[in-house]
Amino acid sequence: MHINLLRETIRIVYLSLLAGSKYQQHSALQTLYHGCFPAALIRVIHVPQNRPASSSPRARILLAPMEGVVDFQMRELLTRIGSFDRCVTEFIRVTDALLPARVFQRYCPELEQDSRTRSGTEVYVQLLGGDPLIMAVNARRAAELGSAGIDLNFGCPARTVNRRDGGSTLLQHPARVKAIVQAVRDAVPHSVPVSVKIRLGIRDSSQLSEICSGIQQAGASELCIHARTRQDGYQPPAFWSHIKPVRELLSMPVVVNGEIWNTQDADQARHESQCSDLMLGRGALACPDLSMQIRAHASGQAYTALPWPEVLELLQQSFDNTNPAHRRHTGNRLKQWLVYLKRQYPMAEALFQSVKQLKDSHAINSAIERHRVIALTQAH
């Protein structure tokens, strides 16, 4: 028991010294720490200190991280079409080790492009886990590899994730959330933003103020709140008004997220939450140019929504760029996207029915081509 307490004390003190050059590489503390924890977990990494924090005077629109859906290819496509101020990667699960560089590069190929998509949109690496030390050293590695920022996931409601001490389950322990944010903030240079994504709570929003205050005190750069609890999952409605009290409490930027499918939803979410910044997830998949529509609507400009024939071209491009590891997965991402597109484009339902049983690339391409001919014929 006393040994475990000593280990934890060393761990906490070491975290406070982890950032920058606040300690000598061969200090007595480091030697002691190496004796308690595997050396691979505490590699000291040099991080460039000259990356400016991004800022924009206009209301921002961010593209949400969606595990299994918004990957590198989808980020490339949506940022090319829409007007996004930032993307976030799918979450990288952090458990008990410092991950190798190749893991970060697989989730975020944009690291090879100054942490931006080809259209110039910044990309933050998102981490998910429950151990402050391990989260900290992995955040530092992501920063060393050039990530424009670090995003921390306390919002995922998936049971498989929550059972492994990650995602929204941590919201029942505000002090743990604060400790993780503090550890990450201390581990990366001040010039690297640390953003946090949460939900309203586990079953209600009774702890929301405590959670958010702790996140701000820990030094987070900004906070995104998905306006539902873990228990709500993705069932409508989103409770945007529950964000307003903490928006008024906090001095850091707050972003509203959840159930924003059109310009009317965007207006209402902003009004009820009093947040000017939005994060779009499923709405951007259902309506690929939704960010453009929202900006045009907010500025009073006329805008013509993306027609179905052009969406078909995007679907074709997306499918062409997909290279599944196994034949049985062929077309899965296309089918996923069509499920969302059906909400905005009725014609997507017919295409989905045509391809849902197909596993052959040639057959899927032929189905897309048939629907393209139909769409062009109807357009004229």
Residue positions annotated with a catalytic role: 156
Name which of 63, 21, 67 is nearest 46 in CA terms. Answer: 21
> Whole-angstrom Cα distance, residue 278 to residue 286?
16
Extract the tokens encoding 335: 């089918």
Extract the tokens encoding 35: 């004796």
Name which of 356, 364, 379 is nearest 308 in CA terms. Answer: 379
Q: Where are the beta strands (DSSP E) in 17-99?
A: 61-63, 86-88, 92-93
Which residues are within 8 A (CB) of 309 and not within 5 positions of it... i.e. 6 or more apart?
372, 375, 376, 379
Which residues are within 8 A (CB) of 50 and not within 5 positions of it... i.e. 6 or more apart?
191
- Dmax over CA atoms of the chain, in Å, equals 79
Instruction: Considering only CA atoms, give the Rg of the chain.
Output: 22
CA distances from 26 to 30, 37, 132, 183, 316 (A): 6, 15, 23, 21, 55
Distance of CA 376 to the CA centre of its chain: 36
- HSE on the CB side for 14, CA within 13 Å? 29
DSSP letters of 206-231?
TTHHHHHHHHHHTT-SEEEEESS-TT
